Amino acid sequence: MSPRELAVRYGFLVLFAALVIYFALAAPGFVSPQSAVFVFQSVAITGVLALGVTATLVVGGFDLSIGSVATSSMMAAAYAMVVLDQGVFVAVAACLAIGIIVGLINGFLIVYMRVPDLLATLGMMFLLVGLQRIPTEGRSIAAGMTMPDGSVAPGKFSEAFLTLGRHRFDFFTPNLVPVSVVVLIVLAVLIWFFLEYTRFGRMMYAVGSNERAAELAGAPVKAYKIWAYVISGIFASIGGILLAARLGRGDIASGNNLLLDAVAAALIGFAVLGASKPNAFGTAIGALFVGVLLQGLTMMNAPYYTQDFVKGAVLVVALVFTFALSAKAKR
Amino acid sequence: MAADAVFRIAGLKKSFGPNQVLSGVGLELRSGEVAVLMGANGAGKSTLVKVMSGVHAPDGGAMMLGGRVFSPKSPAEAIRAGVVTVHQNINDGVVAALDVATNLTLDRLSGKGAAALFNPRRVQREARAVAERMGLDVDLKASIADLSLADRQMVAIARAMAHEPKVLILDEPTSSLSSAEANRLFSLIERLKEHGVAILYISHRMSDIRRLADRIVSLRDGAIAGTFEARPLDYEGAVNAMLGRTVQHGTVEARAAGETVFTADRLAIAEGVLPISLTLGAGELVAVTGLVGVGKTALAETLFGLRAPRAGTMTLDGKAYAPQSPRDAIEAGVFLVAKDRAENGIVGDFNVYENMSLPFLRRISAFGVSRRGAERALARGQIKDLGIVCRSEKDELATLSGGNQQKVMVARWLAQPARLMMLDEPFQGVDIAARRDIAAKLRAEAAGRATLIFVTELDEALETADRILVMSEHTIVGEHRNGAIDMDRLLAEVAGQKRRAA
């Protein structure tokens, strides 16, 4: 392997390791279970979204609606519990239903209506951003809120639901690992196995790489594409559930950065191990990379408003790795 | 008035890397004359056109235009000098978003010395002048996007004529036109001839060629293989020169077919064409040959479930066979190695074994999980079998030569037993050794299935097939048993003389 290939293949992981070592030396307290958990927790929701959007990237598409699917799910969960006085089961089911339905609509628009993926999901994004405000006439949802007709909302967030956001599993030290981190890890392993080792995943890569060849090999290309958007929708709605459980209210203003952070993580993932293509492992590393960087900088007292700049810079560097340096890019 | 050559090429050479595409081409174009250039895929037609139109610089040889050296550095320079090309892709010749008038005068709008401000009235005036001169009957205010392909083609040619060229190159101008539309194009070409333009007309369609040609030039392997201008024009000779015939008859021992595997009954593969009936037996290798665009790929796609026949029925092993999709076809045991592997075959992100297992992943998976060990073992077997040159089954496809890539594509479909195995242009962009390997493999494994290959080059059919079917105008016009072929009749059929074999 030439030095160039080595650099492309392991460059990003080396950079990641160097970053961790640097923060370990420079920021006291960076190497601790609590700090590690904090990193994971900070990227849990964007990580879940990023894993979902990876599925659409694999089939050669893109899903811009994930952020708004997540916030719509959050509002739906809050609405179900606070306004309709339902339990945890209905709230979670409503969220997942939103993810599936939006995924199906996205897939339908792209596959059958031939709307380009970026535009179709952009449209859905706007639609959902607006839709989630309609039931409450633009208000956030919290227990005891006043309804538009003057009455007081009857329900509240169920304890079981809040547990999703507040419970911590014991791991070495008591009450360490939050549910959201466990969900992230489980979903990451699931989608990684699915994409790398199942027939379904392999065919999705084939569709993304050469749609015509996949079709001529007998693959139901349309179905694979629609499934990818459904997966993306489901993951985004799970992200929304975690967000609602963490906040304990349906906050109209939250989740602004979800889309960009998730997409950034998935695109950074292209550079991991020189894959030059969307992959679940890379996406997870990409999300963690951003999390570690922000956590380290915060512990070194970098101001919060530098965060987006740092994320953007990482993304640009990762894209250069992917498109300019890798051997595949030259073909 | 065909007298002096307006345009003369001598010893023109062009290579791309180690590939010599043009190896000394000589050509003359005369004022008021249509010279038809014929050549199979890869013969070097497009490269010749690109050199003439200033897209590529030649490596050697000279071009003369009206007695002066012509060596354009860019397409714009070639156009200014009077050599104008209308490319095959009609939409390269027009801007769809603009109206006809603007398209007709586009080059004046962007050329040197053009006014910075756009004057719609002047554009209309100039466009009308161009249209009148060309006898163009199209609404000047219409948007190109609303026009038929034929009208767009007319506009593209009229626009080219606005430069008042001495030489006009038309690259397969009728390939997407209906015959009525083509007739309008032909009258336009007649008119251009009267204006004294020298025309180089590139086409595969024999009907066009019969109608227009004053002279036929056959190009083969980057050199002129024959020029035909004695009346009456020798069309068969031209086809023969273009397709060449280097193999001896009888190199293949024709085998008899076993039990019937596939039949087609009065199958019409396009609107308004004569139907096709054919029977394929087990163990035989049948080649369908014919010029480019006569419907070979359409026939393959119909049998593979990619397009529905307009009429007629098919049977496979005695049962009705009407695939709705490639998936249906594959499940019934009908496989197709599609032509143009880069476009239709290779999955660029996949390595050799992943490419090979693509259609049959289901059969080598357990509970939806692909078994990589089995996949790789299968691929190793195929690599050895077909003599694929690669380091291992984990190589990226792009590191393989064209011939080896094609072997991977063939291996993909040989992995499972087929009832009907089809290969569309399997020898395209394949070196001679790989071509022999693939043909030998196809013949060796032909037992128990019907094999159908679609090839333009006659040599390829003669080298591999037991039986040869000839296609012309979307139907089968002739049938020959290899080893006892009446070559004159076969060439006449390829050249479009309808004489249906009994």
B272-326, pLDDT tens digit by residue?
889 999 999 999 999 999 887 888 999 999 999 999 999 999 999 999 999 999 9
Pairing of strands B311-316, B260-268: antiparallel
CA angle A44, A323, B344 (to 5 degrees): 100
Q: What is the pLDDT of residue A329?
A: 44
Q: Which of B447, B485, B431, B502 is nearest to B251 (CA)?
A: B485
Residues 6+ apart with CB under 8 A from B315: B262, B263, B265, B321
Q: What is the pLDDT of residue B112?
A: 61
Residues 6+ apart with CB under 8 A from B456: B40, B41, B243, B289, B290, B291, B292, B296, B425
Q: Which residues of A touch B362 (CB under 8 A)?
A: 199
Contact at CB, B349 and A219, closer than 8 angstroms: no
Q: Which residues of B touch A217 (CB under 8 A)?
A: 326, 330, 358-359, 412
ipTM over 0.90: no
- Distance between CA atoms of B470 and B497, rounded to whole angstroms? 11
* Chains A & B: contacts with CB separation below 8 Å: 68
Higher pLDDT, B18 or B152: B152
Q: What is the pLDDT of residue A117?
A: 95
| DSSP run (H or E) holding A227 | helix A221-247
- Region B422-435 average pLDDT: 84
Q: Show the domains of chain B with their CATH numbers.
A: 5-243 (3.40.50.300), 250-333+417-502 (3.40.50.300), 349-413 (no CATH)
Mutation to test the B interface, candidates A199, A211, A212, A322, most B Cβ within 10 Å:
A199
Average pLDDT, chain B: 84
Higher pLDDT, B320 or B82: B320
Residues of chain A with pLDDT under 70: 1, 326-331
Q: What is the pLDDT of residue B477?
A: 92
pLDDT of B249 > 60? The answer is no
Q: Which of A160-164, B171-175, B455-459 has the lowest mean pLDDT?
A: B171-175
Residues 279 to 308 of B: which have CB under 8 A from any A CB? Answer: 304, 306
Closest partner CB to B346 (pick from A205, A208, A210):
A210
Q: What are the structural domain ranges in chain A?
A: 3-330
CB contact, 8 Å: A197 with chain B?
yes
- Distance between CA atoms of B477 and B471, rounded to whole angstroms? 6
Q: What is the pLDDT of residue A188?
A: 96
Mutation to test the A interface, candidates B357, B361, B410, most A Cβ within 10 Å:
B361
- Distance between CA atoms of A89 and A87, rounded to whole angstroms? 6
Mutation to test the A interface, candidates B343, B349, B356, most A Cβ within 10 Å:
B349
Q: What is the pLDDT of residue A4?
A: 77
Q: What is the pLDDT of residue B486?
A: 84
pLDDT per position as a tens digit, B109-141: 666 666 666 777 888 888 888 787 777 777 888
Contact at CB, B368 and A199, closer than 8 angstroms: yes
The CATH fold of domain A3-330: ABC transporter involved in vitamin B12 uptake, BtuC (1.10.3470)
Q: What is the pLDDT of residue A128?
A: 95
- Distance between CA atoms of A238 and A45, rounded to whole angstroms? 8
User: Distance from A190 to chain B by nearest Cα, in Å?
Assistant: 13
Q: Which residues pair with B218 in a beta bridge?
A: B38, B226
Q: What is the pLDDT of residue B274?
A: 92
Contact at CB, B327 and A220, closer than 8 angstroms: yes
What are the E-state strand segments in B134-292?
167-171, 198-202, 215-220, 223-228, 260-268, 276-281, 285-289
The pTM for the full model equals: 0.80
Q: What is the pLDDT of residue B497?
A: 64
Residues 6+ apart with CB under 8 A from B24: B11, B12, B13, B60, B61, B222, B223
Copy the structure tokens of residue A119. 């535009």
